[in-house]
Structure 1
Amino acid sequence: MNATETFRIVVGVDGSPESLRALEWAVAEARLRHGQVHVVTAWQHPAMVADDEDLDWDLTGYEARARFLQAEALRSAHAAPEDITGEVVQGQPAAVLIEASAEADLLIVGSHGYGGFTGLLLGSVSNQVVHHARCPVLVVRSRRPGRL
Protein backbone atom coordinates (compact mmCIF):
# COMPACT_ATOMS: atom_id res chain seq x y z
CA MET A 1 0.00 0.00 0.00
CA ASN A 2 1.32 3.46 -0.87
CA ALA A 3 0.24 6.89 0.35
CA THR A 4 -2.42 7.29 -2.35
CA GLU A 5 -4.13 3.93 -1.80
CA THR A 6 -6.97 3.37 0.64
CA PHE A 7 -6.35 0.89 3.45
CA ARG A 8 -8.72 -2.02 2.73
CA ILE A 9 -10.03 -4.26 5.50
CA VAL A 10 -11.89 -7.46 4.69
CA VAL A 11 -14.03 -8.90 7.48
CA GLY A 12 -15.85 -12.22 7.52
CA VAL A 13 -19.41 -12.01 8.82
CA ASP A 14 -21.69 -15.00 9.38
CA GLY A 15 -24.20 -13.38 11.74
CA SER A 16 -22.62 -14.82 14.89
CA PRO A 17 -21.84 -12.52 17.84
CA GLU A 18 -18.14 -13.16 17.24
CA SER A 19 -18.33 -12.06 13.61
CA LEU A 20 -20.32 -8.96 14.54
CA ARG A 21 -17.61 -8.08 17.05
CA ALA A 22 -15.04 -8.55 14.27
CA LEU A 23 -17.08 -6.14 12.15
CA GLU A 24 -17.10 -3.56 15.01
CA TRP A 25 -13.33 -3.90 15.21
CA ALA A 26 -12.97 -3.53 11.43
CA VAL A 27 -15.05 -0.34 11.36
CA ALA A 28 -13.03 1.15 14.24
CA GLU A 29 -9.75 0.22 12.54
CA ALA A 30 -10.92 1.69 9.23
CA ARG A 31 -11.73 4.97 10.98
CA LEU A 32 -8.23 5.11 12.46
CA ARG A 33 -6.61 4.41 9.09
CA HIS A 34 -9.10 6.35 6.93
CA GLY A 35 -9.80 3.07 5.19
CA GLN A 36 -12.62 0.99 3.82
CA VAL A 37 -14.32 -2.14 5.12
CA HIS A 38 -15.43 -4.92 2.80
CA VAL A 39 -17.79 -7.40 4.49
CA VAL A 40 -17.70 -10.94 3.08
CA THR A 41 -20.37 -13.50 3.90
CA ALA A 42 -19.91 -17.02 2.58
CA TRP A 43 -22.60 -19.63 2.16
CA GLN A 44 -22.53 -23.20 0.95
CA HIS A 45 -24.90 -26.01 0.16
CA PRO A 46 -25.36 -28.47 3.03
CA ALA A 47 -24.04 -31.97 2.72
CA MET A 48 -26.73 -34.19 1.19
CA VAL A 49 -27.36 -37.87 0.82
CA ALA A 50 -26.63 -38.58 -2.84
CA ASP A 51 -29.06 -41.46 -3.29
CA ASP A 52 -32.19 -39.82 -1.87
CA GLU A 53 -34.03 -38.56 -4.95
CA ASP A 54 -37.13 -37.54 -2.99
CA LEU A 55 -35.43 -34.68 -1.21
CA ASP A 56 -36.52 -31.28 -2.51
CA TRP A 57 -33.99 -28.85 -1.09
CA ASP A 58 -34.63 -25.14 -1.40
CA LEU A 59 -30.99 -24.27 -1.89
CA THR A 60 -31.72 -20.64 -2.71
CA GLY A 61 -32.78 -20.30 0.93
CA TYR A 62 -29.16 -20.61 2.05
CA GLU A 63 -28.07 -17.72 -0.13
CA ALA A 64 -31.10 -15.65 0.95
CA ARG A 65 -30.23 -16.28 4.60
CA ALA A 66 -26.63 -15.20 4.00
CA ARG A 67 -27.81 -12.00 2.26
CA PHE A 68 -30.19 -11.27 5.15
CA LEU A 69 -27.45 -11.80 7.77
CA GLN A 70 -25.09 -9.53 5.88
CA ALA A 71 -27.71 -6.80 5.39
CA GLU A 72 -28.42 -6.84 9.13
CA ALA A 73 -24.71 -6.63 9.90
CA LEU A 74 -24.20 -3.73 7.49
CA ARG A 75 -27.10 -1.85 9.10
CA SER A 76 -25.55 -2.27 12.52
CA ALA A 77 -22.02 -1.33 11.43
CA HIS A 78 -22.24 2.41 12.17
CA ALA A 79 -20.10 3.27 9.16
CA ALA A 80 -20.64 5.78 6.40
CA PRO A 81 -22.04 4.08 3.27
CA GLU A 82 -18.98 5.06 1.24
CA ASP A 83 -16.69 3.38 3.79
CA ILE A 84 -18.29 -0.07 3.79
CA THR A 85 -19.19 -2.55 1.08
CA GLY A 86 -20.48 -6.09 1.15
CA GLU A 87 -20.35 -9.27 -0.86
CA VAL A 88 -22.10 -12.62 -0.48
CA VAL A 89 -20.16 -15.51 -2.01
CA GLN A 90 -20.98 -19.18 -2.45
CA GLY A 91 -18.22 -21.38 -1.11
CA GLN A 92 -16.48 -22.77 1.91
CA PRO A 93 -15.96 -19.83 4.33
CA ALA A 94 -12.20 -20.19 4.82
CA ALA A 95 -11.56 -20.51 1.08
CA VAL A 96 -13.75 -17.49 0.31
CA LEU A 97 -11.97 -15.35 2.92
CA ILE A 98 -8.52 -16.48 1.79
CA GLU A 99 -9.42 -15.48 -1.77
CA ALA A 100 -10.73 -12.09 -0.56
CA SER A 101 -7.50 -11.53 1.38
CA ALA A 102 -5.63 -11.11 -1.91
CA GLU A 103 -7.24 -7.66 -2.29
CA ALA A 104 -6.89 -6.66 1.38
CA ASP A 105 -4.40 -4.98 3.65
CA LEU A 106 -5.95 -6.69 6.69
CA LEU A 107 -8.37 -9.60 7.15
CA ILE A 108 -10.45 -9.73 10.34
CA VAL A 109 -12.43 -12.74 11.55
CA GLY A 110 -14.21 -13.63 14.76
CA SER A 111 -13.24 -16.69 16.74
CA HIS A 112 -15.89 -19.07 18.04
CA GLY A 113 -14.16 -19.78 21.37
CA TYR A 114 -15.42 -22.59 23.57
CA GLY A 115 -14.11 -21.45 26.97
CA GLY A 116 -11.69 -23.29 29.23
CA PHE A 117 -8.75 -25.03 27.59
CA THR A 118 -10.52 -25.42 24.25
CA GLY A 119 -11.15 -21.67 24.25
CA LEU A 120 -7.42 -21.25 23.66
CA LEU A 121 -7.80 -22.97 20.30
CA LEU A 122 -8.76 -21.24 17.08
CA GLY A 123 -11.83 -22.35 15.17
CA SER A 124 -11.36 -24.12 11.86
CA VAL A 125 -12.05 -21.04 9.70
CA SER A 126 -9.85 -18.69 11.72
CA ASN A 127 -7.11 -21.33 11.85
CA GLN A 128 -7.15 -21.74 8.07
CA VAL A 129 -7.14 -18.02 7.31
CA VAL A 130 -4.32 -17.34 9.79
CA HIS A 131 -2.17 -19.88 7.97
CA HIS A 132 -3.15 -19.16 4.36
CA ALA A 133 -4.34 -15.55 3.99
CA ARG A 134 -2.41 -13.28 1.67
CA CYS A 135 -2.38 -10.39 4.17
CA PRO A 136 -2.11 -9.94 7.93
CA VAL A 137 -5.00 -11.47 9.91
CA LEU A 138 -6.64 -10.27 13.12
CA VAL A 139 -8.70 -12.83 15.04
CA VAL A 140 -11.19 -11.15 17.38
CA ARG A 141 -12.28 -13.07 20.45
CA SER A 142 -15.69 -12.61 22.02
CA ARG A 143 -16.10 -10.38 25.03
CA ARG A 144 -16.06 -12.15 28.34
CA PRO A 145 -17.72 -10.80 31.49
CA GLY A 146 -15.32 -8.61 33.39
CA ARG A 147 -12.94 -8.20 30.42
CA LEU A 148 -12.56 -5.47 27.84
Structure 2
Amino acid sequence: MMEVGAVFRIVVGVDGSDSSLTALDWALEEARLRSGQVHVVAAWHYPVIGDAAGKAEDHEAFGEDARHAHTEALRRASGPGVAVTGEVTEGHPAEVLLKAAAGADLLVVGSRGHGGFAGMLLDSVSGHAVHHAHCPVLVVRAGAGAGP
Protein backbone atom coordinates (compact mmCIF):
# COMPACT_ATOMS: atom_id res chain seq x y z
CA MET A 1 0.00 0.00 0.00
CA MET A 2 1.30 3.43 -0.93
CA GLU A 3 2.00 6.05 1.68
CA VAL A 4 -0.26 9.08 1.73
CA GLY A 5 1.23 11.76 -0.50
CA ALA A 6 3.57 9.32 -2.25
CA VAL A 7 3.83 9.53 -6.04
CA PHE A 8 2.97 6.37 -7.98
CA ARG A 9 6.20 5.51 -9.82
CA ILE A 10 6.16 3.41 -12.99
CA VAL A 11 9.30 2.14 -14.68
CA VAL A 12 8.95 1.16 -18.34
CA GLY A 13 11.51 -0.54 -20.56
CA VAL A 14 11.82 0.62 -24.16
CA ASP A 15 13.85 -0.68 -27.08
CA GLY A 16 11.96 0.84 -29.99
CA SER A 17 9.91 -2.29 -30.70
CA ASP A 18 6.15 -2.04 -31.18
CA SER A 19 5.67 -3.98 -27.98
CA SER A 20 7.82 -1.60 -25.92
CA LEU A 21 6.09 1.45 -27.39
CA THR A 22 2.70 -0.04 -26.50
CA ALA A 23 4.07 -0.63 -22.97
CA LEU A 24 5.17 3.02 -22.84
CA ASP A 25 1.72 4.23 -23.93
CA TRP A 26 0.10 2.04 -21.27
CA ALA A 27 2.46 3.32 -18.57
CA LEU A 28 1.82 6.94 -19.53
CA GLU A 29 -1.95 6.50 -19.38
CA GLU A 30 -1.75 4.72 -16.02
CA ALA A 31 0.48 7.50 -14.66
CA ARG A 32 -2.04 10.11 -15.84
CA LEU A 33 -4.85 8.26 -14.04
CA ARG A 34 -2.80 8.00 -10.84
CA SER A 35 -1.10 11.42 -11.01
CA GLY A 36 2.10 9.43 -11.12
CA GLN A 37 5.44 9.56 -12.86
CA VAL A 38 7.10 7.41 -15.50
CA HIS A 39 10.78 6.50 -15.66
CA VAL A 40 11.73 5.38 -19.18
CA VAL A 41 14.64 2.94 -19.34
CA ALA A 42 16.58 1.85 -22.42
CA ALA A 43 19.33 -0.68 -21.90
CA TRP A 44 21.78 -2.27 -24.24
CA HIS A 45 24.11 -5.19 -24.04
CA TYR A 46 26.68 -6.12 -26.65
CA PRO A 47 26.39 -9.86 -27.28
CA VAL A 48 29.65 -11.77 -27.39
CA ILE A 49 28.93 -14.92 -29.38
CA GLY A 50 31.85 -17.17 -30.18
CA ASP A 51 34.09 -15.56 -32.78
CA ALA A 52 31.60 -12.74 -33.41
CA ALA A 53 33.16 -10.49 -30.78
CA GLY A 54 32.88 -7.68 -33.33
CA LYS A 55 34.61 -4.38 -33.67
CA ALA A 56 34.46 -1.23 -31.60
CA GLU A 57 32.07 0.42 -34.08
CA ASP A 58 29.73 -2.58 -33.79
CA HIS A 59 29.80 -2.18 -30.02
CA GLU A 60 28.93 1.51 -30.30
CA ALA A 61 26.05 0.76 -32.68
CA PHE A 62 24.21 -1.04 -29.88
CA GLY A 63 24.51 2.01 -27.64
CA GLU A 64 23.42 4.32 -30.44
CA ASP A 65 20.33 2.17 -31.08
CA ALA A 66 19.42 2.32 -27.39
CA ARG A 67 19.93 6.09 -27.22
CA HIS A 68 17.81 6.57 -30.35
CA ALA A 69 14.99 4.36 -28.94
CA HIS A 70 15.15 6.31 -25.67
CA THR A 71 15.05 9.70 -27.39
CA GLU A 72 12.04 8.63 -29.46
CA ALA A 73 10.30 7.28 -26.36
CA LEU A 74 10.84 10.56 -24.48
CA ARG A 75 9.53 12.48 -27.48
CA ARG A 76 6.44 10.24 -27.51
CA ALA A 77 6.01 10.74 -23.76
CA SER A 78 6.26 14.52 -23.82
CA GLY A 79 3.15 16.42 -22.98
CA PRO A 80 1.19 17.66 -20.01
CA GLY A 81 0.06 15.64 -17.07
CA VAL A 82 2.86 13.16 -16.41
CA ALA A 83 6.34 13.68 -15.03
CA VAL A 84 8.75 11.67 -17.19
CA THR A 85 12.39 10.86 -16.46
CA GLY A 86 14.71 8.45 -18.17
CA GLU A 87 18.02 6.71 -18.52
CA VAL A 88 20.07 4.77 -21.05
CA THR A 89 22.32 2.19 -19.44
CA GLU A 90 24.75 -0.41 -20.74
CA GLY A 91 24.07 -3.81 -19.23
CA HIS A 92 21.80 -6.77 -19.65
CA PRO A 93 18.33 -5.23 -20.16
CA ALA A 94 16.64 -7.48 -17.60
CA GLU A 95 19.14 -6.58 -14.88
CA VAL A 96 19.09 -2.88 -15.76
CA LEU A 97 15.28 -2.82 -15.56
CA LEU A 98 15.22 -4.64 -12.22
CA LYS A 99 17.72 -2.18 -10.78
CA ALA A 100 15.74 0.80 -12.13
CA ALA A 101 12.52 -0.66 -10.72
CA ALA A 102 13.88 -0.89 -7.17
CA GLY A 103 11.35 1.00 -5.08
CA ALA A 104 8.94 1.44 -8.00
CA ASP A 105 5.24 0.72 -7.74
CA LEU A 106 5.06 -0.97 -11.14
CA LEU A 107 7.39 -2.23 -13.88
CA VAL A 108 5.94 -2.29 -17.40
CA VAL A 109 7.62 -4.17 -20.26
CA GLY A 110 6.66 -5.29 -23.72
CA SER A 111 6.03 -8.95 -24.37
CA ARG A 112 8.58 -9.09 -27.16
CA GLY A 113 11.44 -6.74 -27.79
CA HIS A 114 14.04 -6.72 -30.50
CA GLY A 115 16.00 -9.54 -28.91
CA GLY A 116 13.54 -12.43 -28.44
CA PHE A 117 13.46 -15.75 -30.26
CA ALA A 118 10.42 -16.50 -32.42
CA GLY A 119 7.94 -18.80 -30.73
CA MET A 120 8.70 -17.80 -27.14
CA LEU A 121 5.70 -16.72 -25.09
CA LEU A 122 7.76 -14.14 -23.24
CA ASP A 123 11.20 -13.03 -24.26
CA SER A 124 14.03 -13.29 -21.78
CA VAL A 125 13.69 -9.71 -20.51
CA SER A 126 9.97 -9.83 -19.70
CA GLY A 127 10.22 -13.35 -18.32
CA HIS A 128 13.13 -12.38 -16.08
CA ALA A 129 11.25 -9.29 -14.89
CA VAL A 130 8.14 -11.30 -14.04
CA HIS A 131 10.15 -13.77 -11.99
CA HIS A 132 12.59 -11.45 -10.24
CA ALA A 133 11.13 -7.97 -9.80
CA HIS A 134 10.30 -6.74 -6.29
CA CYS A 135 7.26 -4.86 -7.56
CA PRO A 136 4.28 -5.84 -9.71
CA VAL A 137 5.13 -6.36 -13.38
CA LEU A 138 2.82 -5.78 -16.33
CA VAL A 139 3.74 -7.40 -19.65
CA VAL A 140 2.03 -5.64 -22.56
CA ARG A 141 1.53 -7.09 -26.05
CA ALA A 142 1.78 -4.85 -29.10
CA GLY A 143 -1.71 -4.15 -30.39
CA ALA A 144 -3.20 -4.71 -26.94
CA GLY A 145 -4.36 -1.08 -26.71
CA ALA A 146 -2.84 1.79 -24.85
CA GLY A 147 -5.37 2.17 -22.06
CA PRO A 148 -5.14 0.39 -18.71
Identity %: 53
Aligned length: 137
1:18 CA displacement: 0.2
| Rounded Cα–Cα distance in structure 2 between residues aligned with 1:141 and 1:110 | 6
Are residues 1:66 and 2:56 paired? no
1:34-79 Cα deviation digits (max 9, x unpaired): 0000000000123154697xx5321233212211111011111244
5+ unaligned residues in a row in structure 2: which ranges?
A: 114-118
5+ unaligned residues in a row in structure 1: which ranges?
A: none
Q: Which amino acid aligns with 2:43?
A: A
Question: 2:29 maps to what in 1?
Answer: 28
Q: TM-score, normalised by structure 1?
A: 0.82
**TM-aligned CA distance change 1:22 to 1:51, over 3 Å:** closer
Please list, as runs of the form range in 1=range in 2, the aligned pairs for 1:1-148 lying within 5 A after superposition: 1-49=2-50, 56-58=55-57, 59-80=59-80, 83-112=83-112, 118=119, 121-143=121-143
The runs of at least 4 aligned residues of structure 1 exceeding 4 Å deviation read: 48-52
**TM-aligned CA distance change 1:51 to 1:110, over 3 Å:** closer
The alignment yields a C-alpha RMSD, in angstroms, of 2.3
CA contact (8 A) 1:27 1:79 kept: no
**TM-aligned CA distance change 1:143 to 1:103, over 3 Å:** same
1:133 CA displacement: 0.3
Give SS of 1:85's match.
strand
CA contact (8 A) 1:112 1:122 kept: yes
Q: Which amino acid aligns with 1:5?
A: A
**TM-aligned CA distance change 1:110 to 1:51, over 3 Å:** closer
Q: Which has the larger radius of gyration?
A: 1
Q: TM-score, normalised by structure 2?
A: 0.82
